[in-house]
Chain A
Amino acid sequence: MPLSLNQLAPAAIAVIHALNVGQDLRRRMSGLGLRPGARVQVIRTSPLNGPMQIRVGHTDLILRRAEAARIEVAAAG
């Protein structure tokens, strides 16, 4: 079953499968390390459906859940 990043709970680790976003956002994301094959860890989510904090490599990022929903992931150990 395809899983998206916004469905992960804090502390979950996953591997990015696909970025279902436009070319421009994809470039920005890959500049920040969000690329297929990259391991992401969810650090925390903000209340009231606010943004989530994730860790990719040595970079911490915040992004809204709407964007996170467009990042397909596969759960990893």
Chain B
Amino acid sequence: MKRIALLGMPNTGKSTLFNRLTGAGARIGNWPGITVDLLSAKVLLGDSLVEVVDLPGIYNLHGFSEDELVVRRFLEAQPVNFLAVVLNASQLDRQLALPLQLKGLGIPMLVLLNMADEARHLGIRVDTAHLEQVLGAPVRLVSAKYGTGIEAVRQELAGLLHAHPKLQRIDTRAFAEDDQIERELDALVSRSVHAPVLIPPSATDRLDRLLLHPWLGLPLFFGIMFGVFQTVYSLGAPLQDGMGWLLGHLKEAWIEPAAAGLPTGLRSFLMDGLYDGVGTVLTFLPIIAVFFVVMAVVEDSGYLARAAFLVDALMSRLGLDGRAFVMQLMGFGCNVPAILGTRIMRSPSLRRLTMLMIPLSLCSARLQVFLFIITAVFAPRAAAVALFSLYLMSFALAFLTAFLWRGRFAGSEPLLLELPPYRMPTFRFLVLEGWRATLQFLRGASGFIVLGVVLVWFLTHYPFDAAPAGPDTLAGRMADFMAPVFSPLGLDSLLAIALLFGFVAKEVVIGALAVIYGAGGGELASLLAGRLDWVQAYSFLLFTLIYTPCLATLSTIRQESKSWPFTLLALAWPLALAWVASFAFYQGARALGF
């Protein structure tokens, strides 16, 4: 199979170009020796089927950031027919450094000057003939966003495949020698790029004067984040309900009758375990899809880097940057997409610290549980205070987590970000991004989710002759065994079983309580009000807020971090924190005489 590697600096529209060339057929794949997933797609160019691989954006061929290592390892291990180098045509003054470095690899190149529309708008003219001569490679102007020049690029690629039909290995010696290309770069830029010395004040400058205003910037940021949040969940929540309804209907109309002939144990496993458990997690899908589309708008518009600028003064003291804060806020809807959203961070340690922090965000699933129990146990006036205090706790514990672990995770990576001009993403790009991210979530997380669901079902149903989720099941016995751990928190073993269910998805806690107490709805509410005083109830709420992330979140953490030890930490740390917080609250309140 022929292979082309797509290469370029960050923010060159490389991914948009990749989408243009390959359509929706791209796959995420693992490559030997590389820890991050790369996008690749098989495309018919001329008469041959070619694999196009989208490599991460890099600033320098010789650097040691994770992305730069990935690119080097890929090029070392995978022979290619040639490299397609994507540059931002309006920033050639610095981006031409990359093809100058790549020249040393001894592999044919095609240089694509993307965002030709923006460059023309800025009054930048490029002497492509001179560039071709110096770089020894064909140079083409394109605009991936609007699709201009794409057909010519396809033909060019097909022609180059004809000229270089053999897969070639790069000359790895080029990696070892550090480059002294600065003089070469200066000469090349001054000969081939003609740009006005001063850029005219642009729409971006005017918008920035407002959005990055010293005192208005932050309030506007919170306003925009609130808008994004509202959009995601007002679109996503009805879709989530619809998905739940659909799955419930399917179960009643088709699956239950079909499973009627099966033995009871097997039926319970298939229906109550596998179907309900996996179904619950599946209802996250619509929200994830909507989240990705909306995040793609925020990311592509260029506002994310501005958010980092606005909140960095505060976040840097926690060892984080502004992008972590954006994701933490997103987590208040659902933790899963927020964890996936940390991909925008380049430094792996910064990502991990953020992933440790996000599960403490009070997501909408936990909100359901809190609303039910607070309404049942608290007086109306105290209810609002109780809920508000849980939100405060959520922020406080997330910041505490970041603060305590920042030494372990926060790299010394300095904040050095490009502030791209504001751009409107195209509809096509958004749909592709949403679709791809959702598929990727499904593919990566499904195995782990099935495993967790089966485990919880087994614990709450074995031995099979015991009442499900009753005290005689494994879960019941575990709860008894754990009683010394939970009783200092004011939680009895029945509540502890409900927490075990909550591991699958936190909104299941109420359903589990209904099963355990054999009562639902208003009956359950009055039962809880009778059995729990407010101190016990609040202790339970605190524990529910903090303890282990739900299965979907945990599997996403596992998938994104690619590390079991880190996943274990993400499971154990909140558990410990939950215990300490509930213990401190319950014993403190009791000591004060409540």
Contact = CB atoms under 8 A, between A and B. Distances in A.
Interface string B416-437: 1111110000000000000000
A27 B414 contact: no
A44 B212 contact: yes
Counting from the closest, the 10 A-B pairs by CB-CB distance are A31-B59, A50-B313, A33-B94, A60-B419, A48-B313, A57-B93, A27-B60, A31-B60, A27-B63, A67-B414
A76 to B, nearest CB: 13
A39 to B, nearest CB: 9
A66 B214 CA distance: 19
B199 A58 contact: yes
A62 B416 CA distance: 6
A57 B89 CA distance: 13
Q: Which of A33, A44, A48, A59 has the most CB of B within 10 A?
A: A59
B417 A61 contact: yes
Interface string A10-45: 000000000000001101111111010100000110
Contacts of A24: 63-65
A4 B420 CA distance: 25
Contacts of A48: 313-314
Contact of B415 (A35, A43, A62): A62
B415 A64 contact: yes
B35 interface: no
Nearest to A45: B214
Contacts of B90: 58
A42 to B, nearest CB: 13
Interface of B: 9, 58-60, 62-65, 90-91, 93-94, 97-98, 122, 124, 182, 186, 195, 199, 208, 212, 214-215, 217, 305, 308-310, 312-314, 316, 414-421
B63 A64 contact: no
Contact of B62 (A27, A44, A64): A27
A31 to B, nearest CB: 3
Given A62-B305, A63-B416, A28 B63 contact: yes
Interface residues of A, number: 31
Contact of A64 (B58, B312, B419): B312
Contact of B419 (A27, A29, A35, A53): A53
A63 B93 CA distance: 20
A7 interface: no
Contacts of B212: 44, 46, 53
Given A47-B214, A48-B314, A53-B309, A61 B418 contact: yes
A32 B418 contact: yes
A57 B94 contact: yes
5 contacts: A44-B214, A47-B215, A53-B419, A58-B93, A59-B91
Given A28-B59, A46-B309, A51-B313, A33 B93 contact: yes
A5 to B, nearest CB: 12
Q: Which of B9, B195, B314, B416 has the most CB of A within 10 A?
A: B416
A28 B65 contact: yes
B65 A46 contact: no
A24 B352 CA distance: 22
B58 to A, nearest CB: 8
B416 A59 contact: no
A48 to B, nearest CB: 4
B583 to A, nearest CB: 36
A61 B214 contact: no
A64 B316 CA distance: 9
Contacts of B199: 58
Contacts of B63: 24, 27-28, 31
A25 to B, nearest CB: 6
A41 B310 CA distance: 19
A49 B214 CA distance: 11
Given A28-B65, A31-B60, A58 B417 contact: no
B414 A64 contact: yes
Contact of B97 (A31, A44, A56, A64): A31
Contacts of A37: 186
B593 to A, nearest CB: 42
A15 to B, nearest CB: 14
A59 B59 contact: no
Contacts of A31: 9, 58-60, 63, 94, 97-98
A59 B418 contact: yes
B416 A58 contact: no
A35 B64 contact: no
Nearest to B98: A31
Nearest to A49: B313
Nearest to A35: B182
Contacts of B93: 33, 57-58
Contacts of A46: 212, 214, 217, 309-310, 312-313
Contacts of A28: 59-60, 63, 65, 416
Nearest to B101: A31
A43 B208 CA distance: 10
